[in-house]
Amino acid sequence: MTTTYVLRGARPLGGEPADVVLSGGVITEIAAPGAAAVPDDAAADVVEIDAADHVLLPGLVDLHTHLREPGREDAETVASGTRAAAAGGFTAVHAMANTSPVADTAGVVEQVWRLGQEAGWVDVHPVGAVTVGLGGERLAELGAMADSAARVRVFSDDGKCVHDPILMRRALEYVKAFDGVVAQHAQEPRLTDGAQMNEGVVSAEIGLAGWPAVAEEAIIARDVLLAEHVGSRLHVCHLSTAGSVEIIRWAKGRGIDVTAEVTPHHLILTDELARTYDPTYKVNPPLRTAKDVEAVRAGLADGTIDIVATDHAPHTREDKDCEWGAAAFGMTGLETALAVVQQTMVDTGRMTWADVARVLSANPARIGRIDATQGRPVAVGEPANLTLVDPAATRTVDGAAQATASGNTPFAGRELPGRVVATFLRGRATVLDGAPVAAPAGATRGGAR
Ligand SMILES: NC(=O)N[C@@H](CC(=O)O)C(=O)O
Ligand SMILES: [Zn+2]
Ligand SMILES: [Zn+2]
């Protein structure tokens, strides 16, 4: 027996209050508050949720998550990472390919896809590697991954830049055959050899090797021109500089088919944090300056930047609790992403909740070509992939209390606004009262496509 949920007085996309009824995996009714008819069938299992003043969003979609399985199950597994995703309000994630073995064959992407289905927390869409072993030398079997059960549409060597322009050109040409996209980690390797943090005043003062903005911008400029030349689709991962925003704005003005993402941490944190020498703040691309933070906020608000993607990058204590130079790059983000977007964009008046639904759900679903089932409007007949948020709540982030298996959150001890009260995947609650609920094994089997 499946449960019918009645969300009383929720505000779809932050609009007028309504009763929203979820039944049989879809939204079956949206009525005036108090008017939704509750089935009085004794056999029906009906749960009413007081959602007064809660914002109802389409389930969030992350285009950039590191789940670490296979290979680094000590940092995260598909099960722990997707449970963290559900806790953060997500109903779908794209799992990056830099696993061990690398997700560069149909076999590996199908394994990750199946593990996602078995876990049942969110839809897991594997990202396929662009080059064999992320080696940057030979194209991987992009077509075989696209045709596999995992139906891969996003290809990325994330963690490494596809720096050979001929390979990048071929990849862009190749993915056109199946409407795929190449998601580039834009980092000129020679300009960033040994780099530890943003190159600027702070790196000069504290004596860490700098990663100049131009190393990101030069690759983005090259790639938008390549995408234009071959008439293909490019996505830019985690852009972080004011110059990158300008280049994307220029490319879009020219009609180039490019999309771009910014991470929550680049919307709020700056390279001043490197003065602590706390490797929690070591990330790729590095935290930049306040001027860059302002530029990415403006770019997100005006649509130049299409999406917020977490770049959730869990690392074990051993890989993070060491001196800065030896520590791994990356920070977790699934369970704090929505709160950071609320704080930086909604509570500042720069974006509405409808805009949040666009950058955290509809746009990433469209870029990943999963928009037949995810990132849909909150409307009758649509799949009940939904997130219920209490924007008035606040919390102090406790790394140890998070669902992710890794503790490298840069927001530990910070007070952040908003709380994910409930998450629904095809009408089934994965989170209730702010806590993940046990997902039956194989709960999403057959439904994730
Ligand atoms: N963002 C990071 O600092 N690290 C990522 C790789 C990446 O996203 O480039 C990781 O896999 O740990
Ligand atoms: Zn990257
Ligand atoms: Zn990444």
Percent of residues, the chain, with pLDDT higher than 90: 95
Structure-token pair, residue 130 = 């662009």
What is the pLDDT at residue 440? Answer: 55
Q: How far apart are CA 160 and CA 155, in angstroms?
A: 12
Closest listed ligand to the CA of 283: 1
36 plus 108 within the same structural domain: no
Contact (CB, 8 A) for 78 and 116: yes
Res. 449: pLDDT tops 50: no
Ligand 1 atom closest to the CA of 282, numbered from 1: 3
Last residue of a domain, one of 310, 340, 367: 367
Percent of residues, the chain, with pLDDT higher than 70: 96
Last residue of a domain, one of 345, 367, 389: 367
Ligand 1 atom closest to the CA of 96, numbered from 1: 11
349 plus 286 within the same structural domain: yes
Q: How far apart are CA 335 and CA 194, in angstroms?
A: 30
Which residues contact ligand 1 via a Cβ below 6 A?
66, 98, 158-159, 185, 283-284, 311, 313, 329-330
Q: Which residues surround ligand 2, an ion (CB under 5 A)?
A: 158, 185
What is the pLDDT at residue 446? Answer: 41
Tell whether 181 is covered by a domain.
Answer: yes
Please report, in range form, the residues annotated as the binding site: 64, 66-68, 98, 158, 185, 238, 284, 311, 315, 329-330
Q: Is the dihedral of CA 235, 237, 238, 239 positive or negative?
A: negative
Query: How many A from CA of 54 to the centre of ligand 1?
Result: 33
* Annotated catalytic residue within 311, 319, 355, 390: 311
Q: How many domains does the chain have?
A: 2
Last residue of a domain, one of 315, 337, 367: 367
> Each residue of 140-177: pLDDT tens digit?
999 999 999 999 999 999 999 999 999 999 999 999 99
40 plus 94 within the same structural domain: no
The CB-side HSE value for 246 (13 A sphere, CA atoms) comes to 9
Residue 119 Cα to chain centre, angstroms = 18
ipTM above 0.90, yes or no: yes
Query: Does residue 311 carry a catalytic annotation?
Result: yes
410 plus 356 within the same structural domain: no
- Give the burial class of 313: count Cβ atoms within 10 A of its Cβ; 0-12 exposed, 13-18 middle, 19 or more buried: buried
Tell whether 446 is covered by a domain.
Answer: no
Tell whether 301 is covered by a domain.
Answer: yes
Average pLDDT, whole number, for the chain?
A: 96
> Each residue of 169-211: pLDDT tens digit?
999 999 999 999 999 999 999 999 999 999 999 999 999 999 9
CATH number for position 197: 3.20.20.140
Structural domain containing residue 288 = 59-367
Tell whether 449 is covered by a domain.
Answer: no
